[in-house]
Each structure stands twice: as C-alpha cells, then as structure tokens.
Amino acid sequence: MGAHPEKYCDLVMKGGVTSGIVYPNAVLELAKSYRFKSIGGTSAGAIAAAVTAAAAVGDRRQEAGEKLGPDAGFNGMANVARQLSSKGFIYCLFQPANGATNAFRLVVLLAGHAKSWRKLLGVLVAVVAIAPLEFLAILAALCTVGYWIEGWGGAKAAMLPALLCAYGGAATLAVARTARVARRNLLGLCSGLSGRRAWPWRRRPLALTEWLHQTLQALAGKPEGEPLTFGDLWSAPRYGNEPESGFSINLQVITTGVSHREPRTLPFANKNFWFREGEFRRLFPASVVEWMIRAEEGAPLVVDGEIYHRLPEGDRFPVLVATRMSLSFPLLISAVPLHEPAMWARRPDTATSERGEDVVDEDAEAQGEGANEHSVLGTMEGLASGGRRRTSDVTAMRICWFSDGGISSNFPIHLFDAGLPLWPTFAINLRYPPPDPDMRWETDGEVPLEELEAAVFLPESNNQGWKHAHHPIASEWAPKEVAGFLFGIVGTMQNWRDLLQSRAPGHRDRIVHVSLQGTEGGMNLDMPAPVLERIAKKGAIAGRRFAAFSFENHYWVRWRNLSAAVQNYTVEFADNTTPERWLPPYAAACGSPLRDEESPSYAFKSEAAARRARDMHKKLHKQGKQWKKGVDLSKGAPNPAPQLRITPTF
C-alpha cells in the first residue's frame, strides 16, 4: 500500500446485497489517505466493515513487525476486491438448502431486474417445478373424472379447467412446501454453508459464511481454529502517531431482533443470550462453534433437557458471528436463533421495590455485570436482555430470531457520531435513482469514465446534499403502480430515520452517494463481467472523493449546530422550571404533592450526588435565563435547525 497516511477516519457502509461490490475498492482508495479507527455497517455493509476491520488488524500487525501471510492486510483486501468482481463468484456464495433450489431461483428472479414477462413466466414454471407430483396428480384425477362421465370427449372437455385447478392446487402446495423448507433451514433458503454435497471428484465451492470466515482469518493473519474476535480488533497494535482512543479498531454492525421488534448493535454488551450447538453448526463453520464452546465462561445451562451455551461477551464475540447476524437477508439467508431465559424461579433478589424499580442482583453486580452502567449502549442491552438474574434459577427458555440489520437500519449513519468529532466519520450510501436516458446503464459494455464519475457524488459545499429524493410510482401497468406504492411504503418504514439524519448539516457533507442502476447490484447475483467491473470502478471513485474532504469546515458546521442546540435546550429548560424547585409551579394542580427533597423513584445514592444535582439545576436555570436575553446562536446556523432530545439508542 506504500507509505502510511497520517490522518484517521471512521467509516459507515450501507446495506445492499451484491451492491457491496462497491466497497472493497472504495476502502482501498480511502486507505491511501486515511487510517481506520471505527468501522460500521449493515447487511452487505457489515460484510465490508468486517473485512475492512480484519484488513486493518493485519496492517497494524505488519506495521508492528509481525510476519504474516501474503493475504494479510490491505494487500489481501485487493485480492478480495478482485474475487468479488469476477463473474459467477457471488452467485456461487449463495447455495440453497436441499429442496430449496427452485424457490431460491424464483426469489432471485423476482427480486432482480428481469422483465415483467420473465418474472411471470418464472412464477408459472416454479410452481410446477416445486410441486410437480401434486400438479400431475390433481390434473390426472380431474381428467379421469371427465373420462368416467363422458369418455374421451369428457376428458378433453375437462382438460382446461383441470389444468387451472391443478395449477391452483400446486401453487398452494408449493407455497406450503417452500415454507416448510425455509422453517427447517432456520427461516431461510440458504444457510450460508454449503447446501448440497459435491461429487467426490469435484471441488466444493465455498458458501458465503465459509468464504467470509476464511477471508477474515487471512486478512487478520489468524489461524483457522482461532476466529477473529472483537478483542483482536480492540487490542490490535497501535500506530506510532495514533491519538488516544478506547479501542485500536472499533467495529459495530446492526442486526434486527425480530422477536423483540427492534434494531440491535453488535457486539452485545451486558446481554443474556445463549445458543444451541446444533443450530449454530448449521450456520457457522465447525471450528468457530467448537471455539465458542471451549471459550465459554462457566458451565452450560440445561433447561428441559436441552443444553444452552452462553453467547460470548464483548471482546470474545467472534466477528464472523456478528457479521452473519447482520446479513441475514429475509427468506434468502437463514436467520440466526439465540435464546434467552423466559421464566425464573422467584427469588427475593428479583422482586421490585415499592416504587416499581428493579432490584439489582448484588451477586451479579459483584461479578462485574454492572461494568457498563455508564454506557448508553450497555444499559440498553441490559434492558433488552432481561436484566441481571441468576442463571441457576432459569426454568424456561425462549427463542429470539435475529435477521438482516437492513430491516430496521440499513444506513446506520448514527454510528460513531459525536458532537465534536476527533476525526471525520465517512459514509458510503448506495442509491437507485430513476434511469437516466442520457446514460447507457443498461448496456453490458464499457461505460465512459465521465458517466461513472457522474454517478458518484460527494457534496462540495454546505448547500448540497439536503434535497429530497423523488421516487416516481406512476406506471402504465396498474399492478406495477400498486406494487411501487406498496414497496415505497416499506422503504419509508425501513429508511426514514437514516434518511433524515443523512440530510442533516454536519452529516450530509461526509456522505458519498454511489448511484446504481437496475442491472447493478441488489439481488442481481449473476451479473456479467462488465457490470461487475463498472460497480467496482464506482467504488474506487467514491474512495478517491474523500481525499478532498475538508475536515475544518465539517468541524465548524458541527460546532455551529452544537452551540445553537445547547443554547436552545438550556433556554427551554429554564422556561419550564423555577430556580429552587425541580417541579413546575403548577405541579400541585396535576396531583404532585411531593416536596423538592423527595423523589418518586430512582433516588440518588448519596447526599453528595443529590447536592450536585441541585447545583446543576440552579446553574442550568440561571444560564438559560441569561441566554434567553442574549444573542441567539441559532440565527445563521445551518438548516434544518438543530435540537437536543432524549431519544432511544440501539
């Protein structure tokens, strides 16, 4: 890679299935100007984030003087970029389970960019291919009835209605059969491991999870039997000029807890999840599962005759497992089942106080489970995983399904964000605008460089990157228009939070947008070589765009945002309080007879803490009154106007 840069950055990457081909070349270009500190993503972006983090580990180890293999570090990542851009490679990574081949092909066809007539033909053929015996049995039975009634003439007359009835019955049975196959394969058509046995004389191609494990190990310079963990990232060797930070490399990816209806950030902190060996062996290489069992702290949990192993905590969490939990594209790739306690034997330490507060298990606290109490993410994980209770009291377990992170946060621009950052957090957004008739996107041939350059956009001024994107729905074909409307609703539910944040000042200037057309990326698993090369070139262009990024302007914009937001928040605080009372003057009318020194819940642990809180209250009130009469810092600040609010995190 040549001389190492002196600048540092964070990087966030959006999900997009095969669109992730953009990322390796973008990272390689970015690595020429920056060193990576924090890396995050969702789905395909999570794969790219994990691969980047592994390459960064290998690079740091090589810089520290360790002798690693030729595939370690960013030199190895260049090989990964070439692999992903080779025709047929991505398609081979997706290997359907036994009995799921025809359904898999249909899902890929329907989600891809094929013509409408091809999709309709694919549905017609797939139904018969999935349930052929049922189709023939129903057809034969109905034709036989016609023969019994009117002989050969009756059989011929019954042929058309028999075909329709047979097809309808086969379609119903095909859906039911596909559902059974998906359920048997952990709610997906592809597990991520090799689906079918290869003949002895044929070399079996690696499936997605197997390839990812092999790639992560090679890039980080780790042996096969010792999976790359978050601890390896956090404690990787530091560069000589590296600024102080908690971790050498910080990786975070997003998954969706479908059973809990919420997004989750990996690795888990202060959680209470368990896994079953048999289920994990169907999703992960045997060496990874065996390592997780060997590394387990404490004895396994046995409930109703089933053995549950504790999921490794933070620094021992395998990067492969986190990445696989983030990329479980619904139906296409199997979901990941974890388990949590559902019932406990009642004990005094799990009761609630008279004020309704949870009583903390002091034994668990002494064992260090309260170490993350000052971490927002840590406290959220504690709530989401059932709190702290003795595992010896568990009497029942329940399954928790985790699927693709893109369901809930496909572009987690919030990751690594800070009011005033130490270095920029770059982000790469994949978008699908309407086809431009002036650009030859549909061709499989070479596209001029100027058209590729035009497809990659990074704001060059503060007035760019904020406009709404318009997605037309109208179509001459009514079913297509209705489908476009419904998919637009789903897309809005999925992306509204990420979209609004990505347009905010201090965010929009650090996002490079890569436009992809219908034949590029998405669910197009078997793209022609010229299309693959085109996507990879766009990635390289995206990485180069960041070389001209102005961190000085970015930092100033964020300071203008922060100063205005803090002032407005403090003024609002002063308007809603009085200097001596934390309750508003009309609290008694609302049924609040409490005095200031009393607390309805969550009392301070000491008088010193209570005194500090009272002092803070008085200072905030005084400052808010002063700022209300002074200069308004929000005038001339970037739009939309910034604000501070207490919001959920994940």
pLDDT for 607 equals 85
Q: In the predicted model, what is the mean pLDDT of residues 159-166? A: 88
pLDDT for 276 equals 97
User: What's the maximum distance between 2 C-alpha atoms anywhere in the chain?
Assistant: 99
Tell me which amino acid residue 598 is: E
Q: In the predicted model, what is the mean pLDDT of residues 512-529? A: 87
Partnered with residue 309 across adjacent β-strands are 275
Tokens coding 243: 């600024």
**CB contact at 8 A, 361 and 389:** yes
H or E, element range at 34: strand 34-42
- DSSP for residue 78: H
Q: How far is CA 18 from CA 115, 220, 293, in A?
A: 19, 23, 33
Tell me which amino acid residue 632 is: D
Extract long-range pairs of 376-383: CB within 8 Å, 24+ residues apart. Answer: 376/649, 377/265, 377/269, 377/649, 378/269, 378/270, 379/270, 380/648, 380/649, 380/650, 381/264, 381/268, 381/269, 381/270, 381/271, 382/270, 382/271
| pTM of the predicted structure, to 2 decimals | 0.87
Q: How far is CA 365 from CA 270, 343, 522, in A?
A: 11, 21, 46
pLDDT for 351 equals 46
Tokens coding 159: 């042929």
417 a catalytic residue: no
Q: Which of 90-94, 121-125, 321-325, 357-361 has the highest mean pLDDT?
A: 321-325
pLDDT for 441 equals 47
Domain ranges of the chain: 7-89+410-552, 100-190, 572-597+604-629
444 a catalytic residue: no
Distance of alpha carbon 573 from alpha carbon 624, whole angstroms: 7
Which of 43, 85, 326, 385 is catalytic? The answer is 43
pLDDT for 592 equals 53
pLDDT in tens, 61-91: 999 999 998 999 999 999 999 999 999 899 8
pLDDT for 419 equals 87
Higher pLDDT, 640 or 195: 640
Confidence band, pLDDT 50/70/90 cuts, at residue 229: very high
pLDDT for 392 equals 66
Query: Residue 503: how many CB atoms within 10 A of its CB?
Result: 16
Which of 10, 232, 404, 498 is catalytic? The answer is 404
Lowest-confidence region among 489-503, 581-595, 610-624: 581-595
